[in-house]
């Protein structure tokens, strides 16, 4: 019997991936850029057991048995087995995969990114594969490829039709910008209204704006944001991050029928960030929203205490059935 356990953290995109050129292989229409949170924050944990005694493959997610008949899981497993050493005795043993997230799943908090990054890392370890396997994690959930590395990570869309060059690479380790913090404001931890897979497909089919974003807006933003990270220029980094989030949600609005992810609480947070930055006469906090109403704030350590008081004033922590910011996770995370 072989047992492998891995932990992988969530990554938060500052330049978002939205739209695929290949649905099966999950090849994106634009490059994307993110920060990976530290291991002690929002993480997925996966244990894989390979045993000759197992009669069939089993997969458990957050304590519930799932079907193993899942195309993305099958694609990852097939690819990992294809590059593994064929003489490994356990290559054909059945698997028991158990995965858990320590935060809400499928609520627009990048759970699938951490989940697939974790599972592919565990599979690679199980089958003794060395080298980059981010392109395999990508086949599980696109953004998962970025959680394969710590710090600041670029996912290059690549140009080959087999997706082998659609990979993630670290552009700077977390230690490069040790003052950087992330605050996640959980506005709603329920499952998101539309899966990102369905929504991005609809955007590709119906949004003219998306073509402009992918071809003209994102390439410039990626370049400028990498430069800002390298120079530790928070002012520019924050401006790009906020503009990019707004551009992404404009695409969601331009999708037909529209995908509305932000709610009133999200807009209150956006207004609070802009008011605070204006009061400070500089960008001290940046917001970004994925496919859900939950806000992720990037800010430097020196702004954390003050901005937490602002948020607690504007949106007093309360729990009224999930549609209000709950106040619980207001503790800053570091990048790993
Ligand atoms: O990897 P997916 O299919 O969960 O899509 C993620 C899309 C966004 O979270 C909205 C953006 C991103 O780049 O993480």
Domain regions of the chain by residue span: 2-173, 180-334
Q: Is the dihedral of CA 21, 23, 25, 27 positive or negative?
A: positive
Chain-centre distance for alpha carbon 284 = 23
- Of 36-50, 111-125, 306-320, the least confident: 306-320
324 CA → ligand 1 middle, Å: 23
CATH topology of domain 2-173: Ribosomal Protein S5; domain 2 (3.30.230)
Q: Is the pTM of this model over 0.90?
A: yes
327 has a pLDDT exceeding 50: no
The average confidence (pLDDT) of the chain is: 92
Reply yes or no: is the peptide bond before residue 257 cis, omega within 30 of 0. yes
pLDDT at residue 8, as a whole number: 95
Does ligand 1 have an atom closer than 6 angstroms to the CB of 16?
A: yes
pLDDT in tens, 192-236: 778 899 999 999 999 999 999 999 999 999 999 999 999 999 999
pLDDT band at 318 (very low <50, low <70, confident <90, very high): low
User: What percent of the chain has a predicted confidence (pLDDT) above 70?
Assistant: 92
116 CA → ligand 1 middle, Å: 12
- Of 57-66, 120-129, 315-324, the least confident: 315-324
- Count the Cβ atoms, other than its own, within 10 Å of residue 160: 9
pLDDT at residue 321, as a whole number: 53
Does ligand 1 have an atom closer than 6 angstroms to the CB of 17?
A: yes
Place of tokens 């069939």: 56
CATH 3.30.70.890 is the classification of domain 180-334 = yes
215 CA → ligand 1 middle, Å: 18
User: CA-to-CA distance for 238 and 94, rounded, in angstroms?
Assistant: 47
Does ligand 1 have an atom closer than 6 angstroms to the CB of 143?
A: yes
pLDDT in tens, 242-289: 999 999 999 999 999 999 999 999 999 999 999 999 999 999 999 999
The ligand 1 atom nearest the CA atom of 16: 13
Are 48 and 12 in contact by the 8 Å Cβ rule? The answer is no
Are 228 and 237 in contact by the 8 Å Cβ rule? The answer is yes
């Amino acid at each position: 019997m072989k047992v492998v356990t891995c932990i992988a953290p969530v990554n938060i995109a500052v330049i978002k991936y939205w739209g695929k050129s290949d649905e099966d292989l999950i090849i994106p229409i634009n490059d994307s850029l993110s920060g990976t949170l530290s291991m002690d924050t929002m993480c997925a944990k996966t244990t894989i057991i390979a045993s000759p005694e197992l009669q069939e493959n089993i997969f458990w997610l957050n304590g519930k048995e799932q079907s193993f008949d899942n195309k993305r899981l099958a694609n990852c497993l097939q690819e990992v087995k294809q590059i593994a050493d064929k003489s490994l005795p356990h290559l054909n043993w059945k698997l028991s995969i158990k995965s858990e997230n320590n935060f809400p799943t499928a609520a627009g908090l990048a759970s699938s990114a951490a989940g697939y990054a974790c599972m592919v890392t565990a599979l690679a370890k199980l089958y003794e594969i060395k080298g980059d396997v981010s392109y395999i994690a990508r086949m599980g959930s696109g953004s998962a490829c970025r959680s394969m590395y710590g710090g600041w990570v670029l996912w290059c869309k690549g140009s080959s039709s087999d997706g082998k060059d659609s990979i993630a690479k670290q552009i700077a380790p977390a230690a490069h910008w040790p003052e950087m913090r992330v605050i996640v404001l959980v506005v709603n931890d329920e499952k998101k209204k539309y899966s990102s897979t369905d929504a991005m497909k609809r955007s590709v089919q119906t949004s003219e704006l998306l073509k402009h974003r992918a071809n003209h807006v994102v390439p410039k933003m990626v370049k400028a944001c990498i430069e800002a990270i390298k120079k530790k220029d928070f002012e520019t980094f924050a401006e790009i991050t906020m503009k990019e989030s707004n551009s992404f949600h404009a695409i969601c609005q331009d999708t037909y029928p529209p995908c509305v992810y932000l709610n009133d609480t999200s807009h209150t947070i956006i207004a609070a960030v802009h008011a605070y930055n204006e009061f400070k006469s500089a960008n001290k906090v940046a917001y970004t929203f994925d496919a859900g109403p939950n806000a992720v704030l990037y800010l430097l350590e020196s702004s954390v205490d003050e901005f937490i008081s602002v948020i607690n004033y504007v949106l007093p922590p309360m729990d009224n059935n999930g549609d209000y910011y709950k106040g619980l996770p207001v503790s800053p995370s570091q990048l790993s």
